[in-house]
Structure 1
Amino acid sequence: MSTAASLTAARKPAWTPWADPAARPYVRLQNIVKRYGAHAAIDELSLDIFQGEFFALLGPSGCGKSTLLRMLAGFTEPTSGRILLDGEDVAAVPPYRRPVNMMFQSYALFPHMTVEDNIAFGLKQDGVARAEIRARVDEVVQMVQLGPFVKRKPHQLSGGQCQRVALARSLVKRPKLLLLDEPLGALDKKLREQTQFELMDIRAKLGMTFVIVTHDQAEAMTMASRIAVMDHGRIVQVGTPAELYEYPETRYVAGFLGDVNLLEGRVVDNADGLVAVESPHGGRLAVRSHGEVLPGSQAWVAVRPEKLSLSTASPATDVANSVSGRVWDIGYLGNLSVYHVRLDSGQTLVSVQTNQTRLIERPIGWDDRVYLSWDPHAAVLLTH
């Protein structure tokens, strides 16, 4: 069992259907390919999503995540492969016949309609009875806290309120699968963070399956039960936020999910549960072993900024990992300070420290000679 799997087994919550071999995925993508001429926007991609998940597709612009979302919605057909929804192949089923709704980044509200008419539009198109429309609209209006605004039109609303109208319109038809295409991108930071938790609460209340596309790693890690990190039309790694952050499998994943320090070197030994790496940036470094790594292999020691201890005093001689340099820059974030330390080798490492004292009492300043150290279990060895 891998280290990440061991961690998950030790702290596994009650609801982890992806860890059950007998569980049937609610959404299954099998060998999906989408080509535009010679370019493969999606390249032999397979993925399982389980009922009730808040699943995130995370990656940079152009990685294929929005194309994948549009294929789930039915707006784009795959070149090849199968899309199974609750066991049914829907690859050739048109959007209006799928139990799926999509919330767009632009919100796409009708400017001449009131809030309640925008929300009710899809139900009216489906011929739902007037009394049921009223009941459903009232239900979602209360859920997204839009009661005082139902008679307003979109131009009379704030960005956050428009976002809630678009969400209510997506929820009112009670889809089995709700797709969200970067729905919070137009909101300011504080409102975006507030809305993230509201979306999580709504999903939990309704028991629906949400799939969100985002390039914001903090957003994905806050909301998602699992994340698929994408690059060039492929999935690089899938896991829970904790698994991806603590145990990335590649430098790409490590760098995309948060900040990371990478110290390049060569493996010189692998014994007693520790890998020894000789690095020009820090001498001999020790990392907990995650499996077979051959001596002589190129490797990178990855350690997160918050896992680095920072001190002006030289650490004890028995500390496994220690490097020194001078403070090049300091960023003050209120609760945290970010230190950029330039090593003697020329590489810069980043250390994040909690501000337990006031700014004027901070003992470490610019150009100070400092020592960075970390536990072997706090780092991850990456070979690609």
Structure 2
Amino acid sequence: MSVASASRVPFEPWKDPQAKPYIRIVNVTKTFGDFVAVDNISLDIYQREFFSLLGPSGCGKTTLLRMLAGFERPTSGRIELDGVDMSAVPPYERPVNMMFQSYALFPHMTVEDNIAFGLRQDGVPKAERNKRVEEMLGLVQLSKFGKRKPHQLSGGQRQRVALARSLIKKPKMLLLDEPLGALDKKLREQTQFELMNIQEQVGITFVIVTHDQEEAMTVSSRIAVMNHGRIAQVATPTELYEFPNSRYVAEFIGDVNMFEGRLTEAQPDHVLIHSAEADAYIYVDRSTSAAPGATVWVAVRPEKIDVGLTPPDDPTYNCVTGKVWDIGYLGNLTIYHVRLANGKKVTAAVANRTRLRDRPITWDDQVYFTWMPDSAVVLVS
């Protein structure tokens, strides 16, 4: 089977009860004095996954990555790789490589020599070394740049040299610490897809640390969202975005409108919430664990909202009204910020299917925001 066709096969080993995790992080805690950087984390990662640790600065994601690399040792708990406890194994004895944000290339060496450095240190014969360097240059599309020095390359090219150097020793796991942070937006977006293609070709488990939600959503098979040293949720990008398990995750992944309310009706196939701050009843066509009377929050993504100048045929549910107080034109989207009568701000994102001059909505217009019953998520925390 070709690489192209193989990449179309669904890859979801975490749904298979018989699948054995490749990396097991079991009750791992890391403290620095009185500060708890990683707090009793347990996590399974499967072979060939492109797994992301996502969270804000200080959430513990880099500390966890450094423990996987062996640069830090857990205060308690253990880390297993392919069935072997790695907790006490030093970094240089682990079948793991790490790629840093700075790339850390040797400026006096050529691209070829940078890539071959690890093999030379291991005493790999020159013929074998040259062959593998040539293969790596082809993999990262730098075959014509082998004789250049790092300063003669663009940022994206240097990033690919660092990736080739990390992969040439065929590690069981590659760790990437904010690997695209130094690139501009357009190149970063392009490189994300290059990383995905390379990872599929080499079949190595990638674990990436990033604070960039869009980057994590693009490259990952699954994402662990971290907060204050703990894991808030582990799921696929789609599941995280469409079905967050808390307000923290909903607000961290993308943009969201959040309405606080009281659960007035709970049925197996729907719930009804009265939101005083939205001055509306909200109907959601899925169940919740909360009981009637409980305080809950309804999350609605901006792109799920329809914007109109006239009220809908049935404004009973899922309809709020207010005045447009700001508009952001992004080319493909227009962002409408609306202020409700009580001052709450709500956002809608509308695809620009027509020219800007054809858009009927402008500042200070009274508009109606509506959404479908399956477009919202009820959160209890």
Instruction: Quickly name the TM-score band, shorter chain normalised.
Output: over 0.9
1:316-331 equivalent positions in 2, closer than 5 A:
316-317=313-314, 320-331=317-328
Deviations 1:205-229 (A, max 9, x none): 1111100000001100100000000
Matched, 1:332 2:332: no
Matched, 1:49 2:45: yes
What is the aligned counterpart of 1:132 among 128, 134, 143? Answer: 128
Matched, 1:271 2:267: yes
Between the aligned partners of 2:343 and 2:195, the Cα distance in structure 1 is 44
Between the aligned partners of 1:14 and 1:105, the Cα distance in structure 2 is 30
The residue identity in structure 1 corresponding to 2:326 is: D
The residue identity in structure 2 corresponding to 1:294 is: A
**Residue 196 of structure 1 aligns with which residue?**
192
The residue identity in structure 1 corresponding to 2:174 is: L
- Deviates most, 46-55 or 287-296: 287-296
**Residue 6 of structure 1 aligns with which residue?**
none
Between the aligned partners of 1:226 and 1:77, the Cα distance in structure 2 is 25
CA contact under 8 A between 1:269 and 1:276: conserved in structure 2?
Answer: yes
1:78-97 equivalent positions in 2, closer than 5 A:
78-97=74-93
Between the aligned partners of 1:308 and 1:287, the Cα distance in structure 2 is 14
Runs (4+) of structure 1 exceeding 3 A deviation are: none
Between the aligned partners of 1:319 and 1:191, the Cα distance in structure 2 is 47
Aligned residues: 373
Between the aligned partners of 2:89 and 2:194, the Cα distance in structure 1 is 32
CA contact under 8 A between 1:320 and 1:375: conserved in structure 2?
Answer: no
Matched, 1:298 2:283: no
The residue identity in structure 2 corresponding to 1:209 is: T
1:91-106 equivalent positions in 2, closer than 5 A:
91-106=87-102
1:168-207 equivalent positions in 2, closer than 5 A:
168-207=164-203
**Residue 346 of structure 2 aligns with which residue?**
349
Q: Please report how far the alpha carbon of residue 272 of structure 1 lies from its aligned counterpart in structure 2 after TM superposition.
A: 5.6
**Residue 221 of structure 1 aligns with which residue?**
217
What is the aligned counterpart of 1:144 among 137, 140, 143? Answer: 140
CA contact under 8 A between 1:301 and 1:382: conserved in structure 2?
Answer: yes
1:235-246 equivalent positions in 2, closer than 5 A:
235-246=231-242
Q: Please report how far the alpha carbon of residue 282 of structure 1 lies from its aligned counterpart in structure 2 after TM superposition.
A: 2.8
Between the aligned partners of 1:13 and 1:155, the Cα distance in structure 2 is 40
Q: TM-score, normalised by structure 2?
A: 0.96
Q: Please report how far the alpha carbon of residue 319 of structure 1 lies from its aligned counterpart in structure 2 after TM superposition.
A: 5.5
The residue identity in structure 2 corresponding to 1:211 is: V
Q: Please report how far the alpha carbon of residue 284 of structure 1 lies from its aligned counterpart in structure 2 after TM superposition.
A: 1.6
The residue identity in structure 1 corresponding to 2:38 is: I
Between the aligned partners of 1:208 and 1:256, the Cα distance in structure 2 is 28
Matched, 1:32 2:67: no
> SS state of the match for residue 362, structure 2?
coil
Between the aligned partners of 1:46 and 1:210, the Cα distance in structure 2 is 18
Structure 2 unaligned blocks of 5 or more? 1-7
- Deviates most, 72-81 or 150-159: 150-159
- Deviates most, 148-157 or 57-66: 148-157
Between the aligned partners of 2:50 and 2:280, the Cα distance in structure 1 is 43
Deviations 1:249-297 (A, max 9, x none): 0000001110000011111121362211111123221123333321221
Between the aligned partners of 2:34 and 2:55, the Cα distance in structure 1 is 22
The residue identity in structure 1 corresponding to 2:301 is: R
The residue identity in structure 2 corresponding to 1:271 is: Q
Structure 1 unaligned blocks of 5 or more? 1-11
The residue identity in structure 2 corresponding to 1:81 is: G
CA contact under 8 A between 1:27 and 1:86: conserved in structure 2?
Answer: yes
Between the aligned partners of 2:9 and 2:251, the Cα distance in structure 1 is 27
Between the aligned partners of 2:128 and 2:237, the Cα distance in structure 1 is 39
**Residue 5 of structure 2 aligns with which residue?**
none
CA contact under 8 A between 1:73 and 1:95: conserved in structure 2?
Answer: yes
The residue identity in structure 2 corresponding to 1:210 is: F
CA contact under 8 A between 2:50 and 2:219: conserved in structure 1?
Answer: yes
The residue identity in structure 1 corresponding to 2:291 is: L
Between the aligned partners of 1:115 and 1:272, the Cα distance in structure 2 is 61
CA contact under 8 A between 1:323 and 1:372: conserved in structure 2?
Answer: yes
> SS state of the match for residue 371, structure 1?
strand
Matched, 1:19 2:15: yes
- Deviates most, 272-281 or 94-103: 272-281
Between the aligned partners of 1:100 and 1:319, the Cα distance in structure 2 is 58
**Residue 3 of structure 2 aligns with which residue?**
none
**Residue 229 of structure 2 aligns with which residue?**
233
Matched, 1:115 2:120: no
CA-atom RMSD in angstroms: 1.3
CA contact under 8 A between 1:288 and 1:380: conserved in structure 2?
Answer: no
Matched, 1:374 2:366: no
- Deviates most, 40-49 or 109-118: 109-118
Q: Please report how far the alpha carbon of residue 318 of structure 1 lies from its aligned counterpart in structure 2 after TM superposition.
A: 5.8
Q: TM-score, normalised by structure 1?
A: 0.95
CA contact under 8 A between 1:325 and 1:342: conserved in structure 2?
Answer: yes
